[in-house]
Amino acid sequence: MSKEPRYIHHVNFPTTDPDRTAAWYTKVFGMKRIQPKSNTRVVLMTRGNFDLHFTPVEEMDRMAPYHFAVEVDDWDDFLGHLKDLGIRHTRPIERPENHSKFCYIHDPDHTMIELVFHGKRPN
């Protein structure tokens, strides 16, 4: 038995509108909503390789500068996808030390999401 964790299974964020949140993460990241068999109000979303959970709240606390990051496979394609959806992002920045790129978007509850791209990152 290993004493080290295998991976992060999921992270949980607040949401003021569970259905709006589920629809947004479905169209932006291609996630699927899982209907739990237990009696929970938590919205469970998955892509298969990572999960996000959202707990309904009445009011949203300011999350920034706290955020999570999502690696994308094709930088230009994903930014085009955001443009097609009408989702604004911050000015993309390229790190000269490794030529990675990043920018930020916000979900409907203003949770900050960093989009990152490492073109030649080893698996």
Task: Specify whether the CB–CB gap between 62 and 112 falls below 8 A.
Answer: no
Could you please report the per-residue DSSP string of 44-89? EEE-SS-EEEEEE-SSPPP-TT-EEEEE-S-HHHHHHHHHHHT---
Phi/psi for 105 (5° steps) reads -130, 170
pLDDT per position as a tens digit, 60-118: 877 778 899 999 999 999 999 999 999 999 999 999 888 899 999 999 999 999 999 99
**Topology annotation, domain 9-116:** 2,3-Dihydroxybiphenyl 1,2-Dioxygenase; domain 1 (3.10.180)
Q: What pLDDT is recorded for position 94?
A: 95
Task: Specify whether the CB–CB gap between 60 and 20 falls below 8 A.
Answer: no
Q: What pLDDT is recorded for position 17?
A: 96
pLDDT per position as a tens digit, 28-74: 999 999 998 887 899 999 999 899 999 999 988 777 788 999 999 99
Per-domain residue ranges of the chain: 9-116
DSSP 8-class letter at 109: T
- Give the confidence band of 122 by pLDDT, cuts at 50, 70, 90: low
Q: What pLDDT is recorded for position 78?
A: 97
